[in-house]
Amino acid sequence: MNLHTFKKGGIHPPEFKITARREIKEVALPREVVITLAQHIGAPAVCAMAKGDRVCRGQEVAQAGGFVSAPVHSPITGTITAIGQSRNAYGQLVATVTIAADDADHDADLKAIAGATPVRTPEQAMAMEPKEITYIVAQAGIVGLGGATFPTKVKLSPPPGSKADIVIINAVECEPFLTNDHALMLAHPDEILEGVKLLMHAAGVERAVIGIEANKPDAIALLGEKAKNFSGIEVMPLKVKYPQGGEKQLIKAVTGREVPSGALPIATGAIVQNVATAYAVYEAVIWGKPLMERIITVTGPSLSNPGNYLVPIGYPLAKLVELAGGVPADTGKILLGGPMMGRAITNIDTPTIKGISGVLMLPQSMSERAQAEPCIRCAACVGVCPMGLQPYLISTHSRLGNWDDAEKLGVMNCIECGCCSYTCPSSRPILDYIRLGKMTVGGIIRARQQKQS
């Protein structure tokens, strides 16, 4: 079969999908959660509550701090015991709210979960105005669950003059090791399709495509069969190629359209949402459930109990790692996310947040960097760059502080996929320098815009 994919660049790293097809394990509801206020792109949520206030399961703890922001909710009933700061996974202090449950709170939550009923039927939901669906999505604190955590309501509110004609569901999961989306698709295909229908209704489009890489044939078959009952929804198997889960690459693979440099994806008429986001939309609209839990793949070659865990937001990361067998003795690096785009962390005494798709414990043997050698001008990094950039040149200009040149060469178009560093035979830290360039040039551009306005 001739499978769709994006054309420029890309690589095929080993998959290491250790936890593929493992059932979702639900972690027990904790007695205490720590809710981080900034767990999305945009302004942090704002908490107007005080220590000693009572909170119910599903209640908003802090409201959105602006248009590009999202509220956060408590997954447990309890009392606020602290409003202050905690260390995030990278060791930085961030604003948090701690909620603790007593025995009665805990029992009440377990009973409420067991006896939960939908707040409306899918038919009733489809009879609502699109803006009412978007409002529920905003109130539920739903953000992109592929890792970007961009507030979903913003994507459903295109800027004036833009119009969507397709919703693309990102079910690609091209990062090695991660299987949380795959597990979700096998467990909840009907709910995902209902969520896609709601997203189409909110966006005012007649067509949706669920893009799934061909290494998940069971999910393609299951969703493809069920999608026959949903008008306008199609499942598209995609060639296995990293970074197909990148928004621009997925739009290209599915529609053949190119997002212009510096433009938003909506410029192509496409709204891209992660498959777990579609499921969260279903839960919010049909069950009245805000985003207060997610599936996290906890994995690594030496881990004794790796798996796909359904975890309340605010759950202790260290406890989750314990459930998966604890940090293996040979661990060299712990990453949040996959090995390609995930970030190494320094602290597991931190709560889970909406953007954590995976916790990866890499053994020392897989996490050591080889000694960087001089560039041999082989152009391998150019060939694999999905954005058509010249990574060796941009990284050199960034290393030398030639910010004008880095900008002219399109440093801001880099999607930080890491294909260049992965491929370089000289083990050059290409992406590290490009990230430095993006940060600096981004600051220069913002300062220039401020001066002009």
Tokens encoding 453: 């306005």
**Near ligand SF4 by CB under 6 A: residue from 55, 171, 172, 417:** 417
243-262 binders of ligand SF4 (CB under 6 A): none
Structure-token match 């999202």, residue found: 70
Quote the CA–CA distance of 300 and 345 in Å, as a whole number.
15
**Near ligand SF4 by CB under 6 A: residue from 418, 433, 437, 441:** 418
Question: Is residue 387 a contact residue for ligand SF4 (CB under 6 A)?
Answer: yes
- The interface region with ligand SF4, picked from 25-33, 309-317, 341-349, 375-383 by CB under 6 A, is 375-383
The least CB distance from residue 365 to ligand SF4, in Å, is 23
Tokens encoding 167: 């919703």
Quote the CA–CA distance of 180 and 189 in Å, as a whole number.
14
Q: What mask of x and - would describe binding to ligand SF4 in positions 317 to 356, judged by CB under 6 A?
A: ----------------------------------------
Question: Is residue 414 a contact residue for ligand SF4 (CB under 6 A)?
Answer: yes
Q: Which is nearer to ligand SF4, 210 or 411 (CB)?
A: 411
Tokens encoding 262: 């510096």
422-451 binders of ligand SF4 (CB under 6 A): 423-426, 428, 430-431, 434
Structure-token match 């790293």, residue found: 13
Residues 6 or more apart whose Cβ sits within 8 Å of residue 117: none
**Near ligand SF4 by CB under 6 A: residue from 110, 113, 263, 376:** 376
**Near ligand SF4 by CB under 6 A: residue from 143, 334, 385, 441:** 385
Question: Is residue 378 a contact residue for ligand SF4 (CB under 6 A)?
Answer: yes
CA distances from 254 to 189, 196, 209, 238, 410 (A): 20, 16, 8, 8, 25
Question: Is residue 270 a contact residue for ligand SF4 (CB under 6 A)?
Answer: no
Q: Which is nearer to ligand SF4, 86 or 170 (CB)?
A: 170
- The interface region with ligand SF4, picked from 108-116, 180-188, 299-307, 373-381 by CB under 6 A, is 373-381
Vertex 241: Cα angle to 229 and 250 (nearest 5): 55
Tokens encoding 390: 């010249």
Residues 6 or more apart whose Cβ sits within 8 Å of residue 143: 39, 40, 41, 70, 149, 150, 151, 152, 277, 291, 354, 355
Question: Is residue 410 a contact residue for ligand SF4 (CB under 6 A)?
Answer: no
The least CB distance from residue 362 to ligand SF4, in Å, is 19
Vertex 147: Cα angle to 129 and 270 (nearest 5): 45
- The interface region with ligand SF4, picked from 31-39, 67-75, 329-337, 410-418 by CB under 6 A, is 410-418
The 32-36 sheet, strands edge to edge: 32-36, 93-100, 78-87, 54-55
Q: Which is nearer to ligand SF4, 190 or 432 (CB)?
A: 432
The contact set with ligand SF4 (CB under 6 A) reads 375-381, 384-387, 389, 391-392, 414-420, 423-426, 428, 430-431, 434
